[in-house]
Amino acid sequence: MINYCTVNVGRGGNLVADKDKEKGQEQVIDEAVGEKEIRKLEFRGGVFTATIPLVFFIIWAIVLSVTGLVTEQALVLGMVIGIGLGLFLCKSKWSDYAQSLISGMAQPVGVVAIIAWFWAGMFANMLSAGGLVDGLIWFGFQSGLEGGAFVGITFLLAGLFSTAVGTGYGTVATFGVLMYPAGVILGADPVILLAAILSGAVFGDNLAPVSDTTIVSATTQDADVPGVVRSRFKYSITAAIPALILFVIFGGGGEMGSQQVVSELQNEVSPEGLLMLAPFALVLYLALSGHHLLTSLSYGILAAGVFIFLSGHSLKDVLHIHKNDAGEAVIEGALIDGISGYFNMAILILFILAAAYLLDVAGTMDVIKNFFLKLINNMVRRAELSIFGIVAFLNVFITINTAAEIAAAPFVRKLGTEMNIHPYRRANFLDTVTSSLGYIFPWSGGVLLAWATVQGAADQYDFLPVVGPGEVFPFVFQGWLLLIVMFIAAWTGWGLRYSGKNGEEVKPEDYEK
């Protein structure tokens, strides 16, 4: 049976791992799902048959991605079919199989992540309703930057926005609609410009305290989010500085658009939205100061509502419950949009948690763990390189980065805890690799979203070229450089920290003593 660590709410509401209470937490979780002990499952063909649900899902996901038919609903269906196949391959009682699925879904990591996503989604949509994106774009126009310089500022603004709202997909969608047309007109290379938007999404997805990948990487490794973000910054900025330089150097070379089109776009944006910088700065400050994410986001949502009201926006943009022309009840606005945007992902994550839990109760995880333990031969470098490889491999096949992170998390946790690698370090490997590859491969969710967004923008502006997924992926500099940084960190031990007796970070030289 998988062991859990107790998760306590300390001062400021942070999630803190308390390894001294593993047994008590395990009992609490077992009682919460209605069973004191989960029975070991046996499958036809041995322990690796338990991987069939996840393997089917991976194949399903990559086929849909390559054919351009991937949607979150389709991914959910693929996971359900995979779990159904596992049922027919299970030699144990089907009731035990079903109970294992329920226990897997009941793991705290899934519940915590889903609740946080809902709050983060509401906050992000509140900022958009207040015109923050328009304000950021207005700033870009006022700077007078063109060509490569405009691509560089796009990367910075996309990274800032993604860090503030914690949604890389939202960044790709909004900046693809607004910054991409403007950049093409101002002489930016379309391929590099789109890569800069994707790179900004990578930066924020990796670093934002309210990002789903940050939340999942921290909670699955028994780490607090503020501490993870602080320890992760050195890796993110090491990749971001050369990425910015590359975007400025290679981002020019496009043809300037007509002044008429430039004027039309300038008239669509205004500086008032920059007032919404205050709410997201408040959230960042509270989150990094040690306050619970829900506390930080709740204050941010309230502050955003105040600024929306003071700026003259309609409160219907926040919440509007009414009847449509057909007499049907309709609820609209930033709050409900923020919650509903995560419904499909929440369902998908629960099913992936259930499928991954089957590997524990079938003994598959122990076999895999023992294989890698023999491979690493008690060497931390090999352990971290193995963690890097496992996370990268799963991200190649699972197109939604958070889903891939959930699937890889148990392996990272088991290998890392065996070598006493600190939770911050484990979370950083899990998140940086996941955030990077989620916006690099042509079949990844982020790249496909960017491609679809550009297609939609081209319908509105006939002068826009449509950049294909295969064109953009070599130039997502932040993603590739972040992967290189983390590979070097694993190979050289840069940033390596062990867990001390009280869970504190210990440098290798002090740990060896």
Instruction: Give the model confidence (pLDDT) of 361-374 as tens digits.
Output: 898 877 877 777 77
* Chain centroid to CA 357: 21
- End-to-end Cα, the chain, rounded Å: 34
Query: How far, in Å, CA of 140 to CA of 153, rounded?
Result: 7
CB atoms within 10 A of CB 36: 8
Query: Alpha helix locations (H) across 268-379?
Result: 277-288, 293-310, 334-340, 343-361, 364-376
Average pLDDT for residues 193-221, to the nearest whole number? 89
Give the per-residue pLDDT at 240.
96
3-class secondary-structure state, position 257: coil
pTM: 0.70
Kindly report which listed range (283-292, 339-348, 464-473) carries the lowest average pLDDT score: 283-292
Q: Is the pLDDT assigned to residue 222 strictly greater than 50?
A: yes
* Residue with more model confidence, 444 or 41: 41
The predicted-structure confidence for 142-178, as pLDDT tens digits, reads as follows: 777 778 888 998 999 889 888 877 778 778 877 887 7
The predicted-structure confidence for 433-483, as pLDDT tens digits, reads as follows: 999 998 998 877 788 778 877 877 777 667 778 887 778 889 999 999 999
Query: How far, in Å, CA of 136 to CA of 154, rounded?
Result: 10
Q: Which two tokens stand for residue 247?
A: 């975007």
Q: Which residues pair with 16 in a beta bridge?
A: 8
Give the per-residue pLDDT at 64.
80
Tell me, what amino acid is at 163? Answer: T
* Residue with more model confidence, 3 or 149: 149
CA dihedral 181, 182, 187, 190 (to 10 degrees): -30
